[in-house]
Amino acid sequence: MRRIDVIGIGFGIFVAGGLAYLFFQSVGLDSISAGIWAQTLLVGGLLGWLLTYAFRAVTQTMTYNQQIKDYQQAVLQKRLEELSPEELERLQAEVEQEKEKEGKCSSGN
């Protein structure tokens, strides 16, 4: 996110708080109550965003993590495409041997 985006979002939240304050005053609340309710709304929104952020961080579904996974997939795909048919066949045989070893180990327990 660019610095100007952060400034824009901050300014937008500031304006939203002012509009919420004016709305609550227009509905008939006094200035203190309108301020309290406007702050409650903003804090509630902030806590909601924070919870979604924490959830995405814990489940690793953030943009950065997804970009790394996509990059790793692309690198592996490129390496597979560059293998000769003989190398690919040898690699597949190794994978099959590993699967058989894992199958024997887990069934032996």
15 Cα distance to chain centroid: 27
Q: Is the pLDDT of residue 36 over 90?
A: yes
Q: Categorize the per-residue pLDDT at 15 as very low, low, confident or very high, splitting at 50, 70 and 90.
A: very high
Q: Is the pLDDT of residue 31 over 90?
A: yes
Whether residues 14 and 45 share a domain: the answer is yes
What is the residue range of 72's domain? 67-108
Q: What angle do CA 8, 11, 12 make, to 5 degrees?
A: 85
Contacts of 88 (CB under 8 A, 6+ apart): 80
pLDDT of residue 104: 75
Q: How many domains does the chain have?
A: 2
Whether residues 49 and 9 share a domain: the answer is yes
Whether residues 43 and 78 share a domain: the answer is no
**Residue 64, amino acid:** Y
Whether residues 53 and 7 share a domain: the answer is yes
Mean pLDDT, the chain, whole residue set:
89
Q: Is the pLDDT of residue 109 over 60?
A: no
Whether residues 81 and 54 share a domain: the answer is no
Contacts of 25 (CB under 8 A, 6+ apart): 31, 34
Instruction: Tell me 2's DSSP state.
Output: -
Whether residues 83 and 54 share a domain: the answer is no
Q: Is the pLDDT of residue 70 over 60?
A: yes
Whether residues 71 and 45 share a domain: the answer is no
Whether residues 9 and 55 share a domain: the answer is yes
Whether residues 74 and 95 share a domain: the answer is yes
pLDDT of residue 85: 87
Q: Is the pLDDT of residue 39 over 90?
A: yes
Q: Is the pLDDT of residue 37 over 60?
A: yes
